[in-house]
Amino acid sequence: MTRARLRPLAPIALAWQASDPLPRGWRSWLARLLAGYLAKLGHPGHGVTLLIGDDALLKGLNTRYRGRARPTDILSFSYLEGARTPPPLIGELAVSFPRVKAQAKANGWPIRTELARLLAHGCVHLLGFDHATAAQDRAMRRIEERLLEAAGFPGLYPPAGTRTGKGGGKGGKRARLSA
């Protein structure tokens, strides 16, 4: 009889600074979700810091670190750049909870689904991917789709070639492309 080795969950530090209360059960759900994303991205056992706040907080961070004086849905700060070996924490993610709720409503799905989508996007950014060009966007989107499918959120993006820019694809519940 072989005993399965249990891997400890990745260290996920959560700071909830949104005006809405932290929904019941979300702390453990977020830890499992992010640990799964990191493992699928080749960093099992590594962690991230997750900050969930309001638009004002994200606007301040976006202004300070990106020079864009407006709120945004998610920001990613990677610790991997220039590291010889991945550090225990590979980066930080900051999310605007009001944006999560608004985008979930616009996309016609639960808040949890939108948060899972944004966190997949942020985790891919932590690995150094960007979406400045159409080719980069396609590559990044494929990785996000694999993460989301593995986490139980398949089919959120329109099929390749049907994307119409901001506003999502044709028919059904498909993600609107966020700014």
Average pLDDT of the chain, as a whole number: 86
Query: Does residue 26 form part of some domain?
Result: yes
What is the secondary structure of 53-87 as a DSSP string? E-HHHHHHHHHHHHS--S--SEEEEES-TT-SS--
Helix-strand-coil percent breakdown of the chain, rounded to 5?
A: 40, 15, 45
Q: What is the pLDDT of residues 29-55, one digit of tens each?
A: 999 999 999 999 999 999 999 999 999
Rounded to whole angstroms, the Cα distance separating 60 from 57 reads 5
pLDDT of amino acid 9: 54
CATH label of the domain that carries residue 94: 3.40.390.30
Query: Does residue 172 form part of some domain?
Result: no
Q: For the chain, what is the domain count?
A: 1
Q: What is the pLDDT of residues 88-139, one digit of tens each?
A: 999 999 999 999 999 999 999 999 999 999 999 999 999 999 999 999 999 9
- Of 11-15, 93-97, 172-176, which has the strongest mean pLDDT? 93-97
Are 117 and 156 in contact by the 8 Å Cβ rule? The answer is: yes
- Domain span at residue 16 reads 12-150
Q: What pTM did the predictor assign? A: 0.85
